[in-house]
Amino acid sequence: MTATTLEPTTVGKAATVEFQGLRREFGATVALDGLDLTVRPGEFLALLGPSGCGKTTALRMLAGFEHPDSGAVLVDGEDVTRVPAHRRDAGMVFQSYSLFPHLNALDNVAFGLRMRKVRTAERRSRAAELLELVGLADKGDRFPHQLSGGQQQRIALARALALRPRVLLLDEPLSALDAKVRLALREEIRRLQQELGITTLFVTHDQEEALSIADRVAVMRAGRLEQCAEPGELYGRPATAFVAEFVGTMSRIPGRLAGPDVEVLGLRLPAEGTPPTASEVDVLVRPEAVHVTADEGGDAQVIATAFLGATTRLTVRLADGTEVKADLPTHEATALGAGAAVRVSLPQRPVLVAERAA
């Protein structure tokens, strides 16, 4: 499966997308509260956040299905805020199955070309080409109800790409699928996106999904952008406590600020970034950064273990009752069953500090 004739036409015109101060209220709820975000040409950007954070609203504004109360949406520097949805040049894949039930797969893919009055023969050959691109060349005459969920979303992807859009919008396209299909399709989407070099926005609430396929991930919260960074940076150097806890697993250990350092677990570690004003703080640590060693005299206790394959995740209760998650290589963790007394420590590295949770 190669990109055939699609490639040259789309690579040349990968678009920049800019959201400028987008604001939108639905009655009493603020869906977007001044969102600023720039998507680079050809980039795969994931919009990540809990439900109700405004990520879908932002995507729908780019598609032209919602209009901002204030702010602007720019594609290649051109303000498209007032352009109606059907002239936006944006292909979209929806969360729910959105194929036209009365058309077969081929006609579904050709729908946009038909709207553009492309001649029948050309329309059919292009639609067939797109079906091949998503690996369903033999399913052209099937109707949506005869296709599995994963196949339907592939067809929807082909349909979205049929008009050679400048941006591809994916609104949680995998959330209705079961785990195995989801994994396969997400790799497929990434492969296609890289082949076509099309600027892509991908909305998801699944952080693993976002981190695994996006070039950059924009974490949103309550209608605002918290942080937009590459997956590695987002995970390793989260800008805020919200990002730290939303992306990956984070444990909070009580500590006390002392100047630029923080005292935690009997250690004195430098605090990263600008520490909060209160002196009673929580130190945020990833499970893989926590050292757990068996120690008869240790004041911490393993309360649960979960086998994850190469690693085992321990849940450890500290002397003050705080629960901390720690990942250990499985061969080391075998000795540490539930109830074992252990000692917990942290590496000598700067740590992220947040205000103490209520």
Partner 1 sequence: MARRLNVWRWVVLGLAALYFLVPLAASVVFTVDVPGQGVTFDAYTQIVSTAGFGSSLLLSLELALATIAIVLLLMVPAMVALRLSAPRLRPVVEVVCSLPLVVPPIAFVAGIATVLKWGPDHLSRTPLFETFVAIQNPSFPFVLVLAYVVMALPFVYRALDSGLRAVDVRTLVEAARSCGAGWPQALVRAVLPNLRGALLNAAFLTLALVLGEFTVAQLLGFQPFAVWIYSVGGSQAQLSVAVSVLSLLVTWALLLALAGVGGRTRTASSRG
Interface contacts to partner 1, rule CB under 8 A: 63-65, 84-88, 90-92, 94, 96, 98-102, 104, 111-112, 114-116, 143, 156, 159-160, 162-163, 169
Least distance in angstroms from the C-beta of 63 to partner 1 = 6
Least distance in angstroms from the C-beta of 71 to partner 1 = 21
Alpha-carbon distance 57 to 33, whole Å? 11
Nearer to partner 1, 47 or 229 (CB): 47
Q: Tokens 């002397």: give the residue.
A: 319
Q: Tokens 């809990």: give the residue.
A: 50
Cα separations in angstroms, 299 against 23, 296, 326, 342: 51, 9, 16, 7
Least distance in angstroms from the C-beta of 116 to partner 1 = 6
Burial class (CB in 10 A: 0-12, 13-18, 19+), 38: middle
Nearer to partner 1, 113 or 265 (CB): 113
Least distance in angstroms from the C-beta of 295 to partner 1 = 58
Q: Tokens for 307?
A: 């086998």
Nearer to partner 1, 100 or 307 (CB): 100
Least distance in angstroms from the C-beta of 15 to partner 1 = 15
Q: Please give the distance of CA 36 from its chain centroid, rounded to a whole number.
A: 17
Alpha-carbon distance 266 to 346, whole Å? 10
Nearer to partner 1, 196 or 225 (CB): 196
Nearer to partner 1, 66 or 226 (CB): 66
Nearer to partner 1, 82 or 102 (CB): 102
Nearest alpha-carbon partner for 134 in 273, 293, 1: 1
Cα separations in angstroms, 157 against 99, 114, 190, 211: 10, 17, 12, 21
Nearest alpha-carbon partner for 194 in 31, 42, 355, 332: 42
Least distance in angstroms from the C-beta of 106 to partner 1 = 11
Least distance in angstroms from the C-beta of 100 to partner 1 = 6
Nearer to partner 1, 127 or 285 (CB): 127
3-class DSSP assignment, residue 73: strand
Alpha-carbon distance 144 to 102, whole Å? 8
> In 266-293, which positions are buried (b, 16+ CB within 10 angstroms) versus exposed (e)?
eeebebeeebbeeeebbbbbbbeebebe
